[in-house]
Amino acid sequence: MLIAIPDVLDAEALARVRAVIDTADWVDGNATSGYQSALAKRNHQLPEESPAAQEAGALVLDALGRNPLFIAAALPLKIYPPLFNSYEGGETFGVHIDSAIRIRRGTDFRVRTDLSATLFLEDPEAYDGGELTIEGQFGAQQVKLPAGHMILYPSSSLHRVEPVTRGRRLGSFFWIQSMVRDSEARRTLFEMDTAIQTVAQDRGQDDPAIIQLTGVYHNLLRRWADS
């Protein structure tokens, strides 16, 4: 399931993130690649432990914590600290699949990668190419969102970043370990939550049926969630 999440960063937050990363020093993106990814990856990245990456990452995490659509869709248990990448001059990331476990170097922090996220930090009119192409059961889908918007997709998906032929594509990327490991269970919960919220707009949160359905949602979450 691909879920586009608009306005994760509003204009002010986006400007703050860009102010931090635009003046930072970037390195070869393969600094954090696994063996397979290194064969396909040509881009630049902020060093994971750099002050700029940590400051900008904290801004992204703060925004995610206030976004109800992200919480409902991901049901996050752990989030790998956001990383930042840049593509220009034909740079690309060929077809690959994300590692099942991401371990932060020098720590015991690790995340099972249930979901991957790309947060776009440059408007699509500013560059050509750079689409995130995600392969799923219904074929390949290309994603290129406005700055501040994010796409959430299964980490088990084959995906790639198309070559950037004009301008510069900037983004933040990270992985989420969900409280609900099973993707179909997570989809069911998201669809139920969305339906409950839609009906509640007409009937009110205190409607007996809404209260009952909310109870069913939480009982399913209780049954399926890891902690």
User: Annotated binding site: which residue ranges?
Assistant: 96, 98, 159, 169
Q: Show binding-site residues for Fe cation.
A: 96, 98, 159
Cβ partners under 8 Å of residue 97, min gap 6:
36, 155, 156, 157, 158, 159
Q: Show binding-site residues for 2-oxoglutarate.
A: 169
Q: Per the structure block, which two tokens stand in for 57? A: 């990452």
Residue with tokens 């209780």: 222
CB atoms closer than 10 angstroms to residue 75: 22
133, 92, 107: which is closest to 48 by C-alpha? 107
d(CA 214, CA 220): 10
Residue with tokens 């049954």: 223
Taking a C-beta distance cutoff of 8 angstroms, is the pair 126, 167 a contact?
Answer: yes
Taking a C-beta distance cutoff of 8 angstroms, is the pair 168, 86 a contact?
Answer: yes
